[in-house]
Amino acid sequence: MSDYDKPSRHRAVPSGRISRLAGFGRLAGGVAGSMLGEGAKRLAAGERPKLNELVLTPANAKRLADRLAHLRGAAMKLGQMISMDAGDLLPPELSDILASLRDRANFMPPKQLDKVLAEEWGKDWRKQFRRFEPRPIAAASIGQVHRALTRNGELLAIKVQYPGVAQSIDSDVDNVATLLKISGLLPKELDIGPLLDAAKEQLHEEADYRREGEQMDLYRARLASEPSFVVPELHEGLTRDRVLAMSFVDGIPIESLESEPQNLRNDVFETMMRLVTRELFEFGVMQTDPNFANFRYQRETGKVVLLDFGATRAIAPAVQKAYRALLEAGLAGDKDGIRSEAISAGFMSPAVIERHPERVDRMIDIIVGEMNQDSPFDFGDRSFVPLLREEGMAIAQDRATWHLPPAETLFVQRKVSGTALLGARLKAVVNVRAVVAEALASTA
């Protein structure tokens, strides 16, 4: 029995403001109870635990993942973002639990699904299809996907948005931010307002299925002559505000290639890397959600299938310029230049350099040493990650240096980092320097 065949995966989405607020209340109460119990246990053992140690327990991470998976929408999306963006910095057991949010969404029971489709297509919506598979082939944070066959014989993928998700985005983001603040994990001095505003903006865009259809069509046009990719075709006649209809494109999960021959894994991942550089420096537009579920692979054609364009956004010229300058300094092995450009781009604050110059220099040495070799880089060799984590966590203990990069930069970096995680999953071996140098030269 597949995961999607299990009845326990059916769980109605809380669509009202009160029911969603109650969900956050139960989560906060459960976390607080766990903190009290864990704190008492450690005090009895003669320890003096810190607040963040009581919050960041595996039990609380599982509690968080379970509740976000139930709420779905912006709440779950933020949990996914945390798992992708901070995966290497979180303790492994916490990272693994939060990572489960990437593919563990519950899906709507049939009655709730029928209600949504009736509101979008009319009560007789089934008459448009020879077959509409009631069990979704995928379920994520904002919607679930069904396979359907039209009366005209078109095989489609139909993405159906969860009820109440679009209306709950602002309150969900605010509620998650409140949980972070009361947990003591964020210092009061850190202004996360601009980041929350940007998150709300992007999530509203992701909930706009008509916009996503337009972005999908634009990507089809950009990659029309590119033999390495397949992009589904929009079915405008069936697309609505909460329903996105497109051609069904088959493929296997891209991460399943980890058991394939090394050459295939290398080629596929290099193709993905080159797409990211084209998005950044040529298109000026990037699909910023690197969730593995958004990419599949076709054995028969050797092509990568690109899915989910809700997180597509334009890249500001200033951000393009900042990445170009940073990469050029990296290729030149200019450590002073890397430090300077990292500050200019907003990746780090001047306070970090002033207070922790030796640690910053060691991190730069590690990155330059690993990534700037004119030879294949083994993404499966993560031996340098603990070294970076050790230096990064030591700096993070100094809250006076905490700093949030500009939101636009964070969205781009999320795609870059997520792509690197795919390389690690596939244990790909690629000449990073050659790919980057070619991208910079071709778009100079």
369-394 pLDDT, tens digit per residue, is: 877 778 899 998 877 777 887 887 77
Asked if 252 contacts 296 with a C-beta cutoff of 8 angstroms, the reply is: yes
Give the integer Cα–Cα distance in Å for 250 and 137: 11
Single out the residue in 75, 105, 135 at which a domain terminates. Answer: 105
**Would residue 335 count as lying in a domain?**
yes
Give the integer Cα–Cα distance in Å for 384 and 59: 29
**Would residue 238 count as lying in a domain?**
no
**Would residue 243 count as lying in a domain?**
no
Selected catalytic residue, list 289, 334, 336, 381: 289
- Mean pLDDT, the chain, rounded, equals 79
Which position has the higher pLDDT, 345 or 310?
310
Most confident segment among 1-5, 27-31, 83-87, 178-182:
178-182
Q: What is the mean pLDDT of residues 323-341?
A: 91
Asked if the model's pLDDT at residue 422 lies above 90, the reply is yes
* Total number of domains constituting the chain: 2
Percent of the chain scoring above 70 in pLDDT:
73
* Token code pair at residue 355: 């207070």
Q: Which residues pair with 229 in a beta bridge?
A: 304
Q: What is the pLDDT of residue 345?
A: 85
Which position has the higher pLDDT, 108 or 44?
108
Q: What is the pLDDT of residue 46?
A: 47
Percent of the chain scoring above 90 in pLDDT:
45
**Would residue 366 count as lying in a domain?**
yes
Residue pLDDT, tens place only, 138-190: 877 788 999 999 999 999 999 999 888 888 888 877 777 776 666 555 556 56
Kindly report which listed range (66-70, 328-332, 403-407) carries the lowest average pLDDT score: 66-70
* SS3 state of residue 148: strand
Q: What is the pLDDT of residue 299?
A: 95
Single out the residue in 90, 105, 120 at which a domain terminates. Answer: 105
Q: What is the mean pLDDT of residues 228-252?
A: 97
Q: What is the pLDDT of residue 177?
A: 72
* SS3 state of residue 234: strand
Q: Which helix (H) or strand (E) holds 150?
A: strand 143-150
- Tell the residue number behind the tokens 């030269």, with chain if given: 441
Give the integer Cα–Cα distance in Å for 141 and 246: 19
Give the integer Cα–Cα distance in Å for 367 and 383: 12
The question of whether 289 is a catalytic residue gets the answer yes
**Would residue 119 count as lying in a domain?**
no
Q: What is the CA radius of gyration of the chain?
A: 23
Could you list the residue range(s) of the whole structural domain that residue 268 is in? Answer: 255-444
Which position has the higher pLDDT, 261 or 176?
261
Asked if 110 contacts 144 with a C-beta cutoff of 8 angstroms, the reply is: no
| 109 alpha-carbon distance from chain centroid | 26
**Would residue 183 count as lying in a domain?**
no
Q: What is the pLDDT of residue 14?
A: 46
Single out the residue in 77, 105, 133 at which a domain terminates. Answer: 105
Q: What is the pLDDT of residue 89?
A: 44
Residue pLDDT, tens place only, 107-143: 788 999 999 999 999 999 999 999 999 999 987 778 8
**Would residue 11 count as lying in a domain?**
yes
Q: What is the mean pLDDT of residues 48-54?
A: 41
**Would residue 168 count as lying in a domain?**
no
Q: What is the pLDDT of residue 45?
A: 46
Q: What is the pLDDT of residue 189?
A: 58
Q: What is the pLDDT of residue 390?
A: 80
